[in-house]
Structure 1
Amino acid sequence: MSRRRSRALAALAALGAAWLLTGCGQEQPVHAAVRGAAPAVPVSAEVLEQGRKVWNYRCYFCHGYSGDAKTLATSYLDPKPRDFTQVSGDTLTYERMMSALKDGRPGTAMKSFVGIISPQDMHAVTEFVRHEFMRNKAVNTQYHTAENGWPNHERNAVAFPFARGDIAIDTPWDKLDETQQKGKRLFMTACITCHDHGRVETPGTVWESRAVSYPRDAYCTSCHQDVPRSAPQGAAHPQRPATHTFSEPDGSVPVRKPHAGDPVAQTFLVHDKAPAMKNPSAKELRGEHLFQKNCAFCHAADGTSKSWIGSFLEPHPRDLTSSDEMKGMTRERLARSISQGLPGTSMPAWNGVMPKEDIDALVAYIAKAFHPVPN
């Protein structure tokens, strides 16, 4: 994994479950515990359940449903998200945790949640983490439930050792028994989509893919398929029982490619295409390569920020094509924003990832492809 790709992904994962952000909490009067002092009374079951809801909605993407940071985001981020099951309440105090929620943690993907969740929710999720993961080492909500669209997930148990990392995914086939071979096939054809590569003995070359700005297969990216109403197969989707399936009984997953009728594709496809440039210079072409590889994930390939991710980030990434949002912009100011980042946003500093000539190439490309930027 290149540092460049890692930092780009960190900008997204900084929001935890920011793919689903919908609004801000309103400030309300709160007691001393919410303002930062440790609570003096036992926490109620209602507060803990509210904290669970916040955690399952905002925090699991990086820290995991059970607080152990065994997530795909963890494999990308440096430093990695905190594993709350490995720390004690004496070491990681209530005050420090509240401070992290309010102020973020500089140098990490943990950003401030002020304006995203209320002080009450910060208090609730802090107490939930301390009670559930740090003190009781409890297993929280499981993702693969019938409510989440995974009925009878235990039928896939042969693949679990590969998902958990008990068996390395690159174990030679002749070293696996018949059941393990079946589990590996299931993992490789279905589970690997979300579980990344599991555990491997020899990592080899890290695979790289172009950033996509929206789910390619509507909301069911890569894992599921639509089938004719007359021929339902596999396990039915709870919201679309007559037409939608997850996988065949043997674990194979025929992936349906998106088509022009997909509602998500209709909305975001237009913004996933880079604009054509007339007579670009070598510098501008270099900037195009850098932008589409690193910046399009948030700013969209066409620079409008009207991408799947851009629509959920708060504040929204700058629309580089907008005269209003680019008003007063100079090449020096744009280069400084790219180099140093923008505090209070998901725009990271790229000066430790890109050399100055690459940042200059990005500025040249933005000025050429999206909006004129004077010197």
Structure 2
Amino acid sequence: MIRALVLALSLLVASAPAAGAKPKIADPVSAALDTAFARASSKVGNPGVQAVLLRNGAPVWSAVSGKAINSPTTPVTSSTMFAYASFSKLVLATYALHLVETGTLSLDSPISTYLGNDVPGSTTVTLRMLLQHTAGYPDIYGAPETAGLFPPGDRYDPNRPYTWSMLAPGIHAPVAPGTKWEYSNTGFVIIAHLLSRVSGGDAALASGIRAFVQRTGATSTELTAERSDSAFLRFAHGYTVGNGKTIDYFTRYGATGIPTDVYGMPFGDGMFAGTALGAAKLLDALYARKRLLLPATVTQMIKVTPQSVQAGEPYGMGTLATSVSGRSWQGHSGLYGGFTSLGGTDLARGVTLMVVTNQEGRGAARTIWTDLAKAYASATS
């Protein structure tokens, strides 16, 4: 008994701070974000998640949790890759606007200038309309010619690469181009085709994007549009959740690698994948440090269109603002193939928050991102 007491007292003395030393105080912002992250992740069933917060290029906080793959159990790490889904629209829009700045493209010339008659309505539709979701193209994924190419269609093959020629039959004539806002995956598939054409082909486009992304400080393992065997080794599986069931999007349809519809060409609507940090670096370079586009171009990009306001979805060119706790964040969300994402930059403060998850359902990324945005606002008010 005496020996135990002596041991306990010695441990207490050893662990006590030295005389005059200041006790270590936890960073209140990180503490608030840690608490919000754990609580929000639990709320949506603890999916695989990465989250990161940057301020003017400097890391402020980050966290990972959950499983990248349920079976065999593989935990999420900071290098795990996720599909960005429609967050990719912001990335592709940024690159398209870069080509406008270089004079390669015009926002207001008919896309027939670059594509000829490849696309219905090309003599009327412009790049600006495509970026703003006002071109009027019907949904390619619901078209009879192409619907069967995607799950649960009878022509879906997750191991067969997609091409523009496979998707082109599903692109129908636009309805009243320029008159109303309607969110359009088809429009961004067309943008990817247009960028490929003016770049000199898919390989040349990939090379151009790779060089452009390097300006953000992100590596090809943090943000990419290119599928590879090495990416598959780090890639999370996407999971759809609903009706009490969890379905692995990768194994459900027999994929032997990353399903070919999850990201990459020709899917301009969901072309990119990577880590939360890679996406955050893109947002930070674009909106906080303004290293990717000229300030006047960024102003055009985020300007909300009258058509989107009328539709109740204030949207610019591949981007929209989300308001949380009185603060406005400029960015985009994404959802496809068992993945969800949401990222934005608080333009007034130079702060970027990005969340990626491998769960489609329960509002995973949005719930976690919103709770983190609220916690950050509260801790920095």
> Could you say which TM-score interval applies, normalised by the shorter chain?
under 0.3
TM-score scaled by length of structure 2:
0.25
By percentage of residues, which structure has more strand?
A: 2
Calculate the TM-score normalised by the size of structure 1.
0.26
Bigger relative CO (Cα 8 Å, ≥ 6 apart): 2
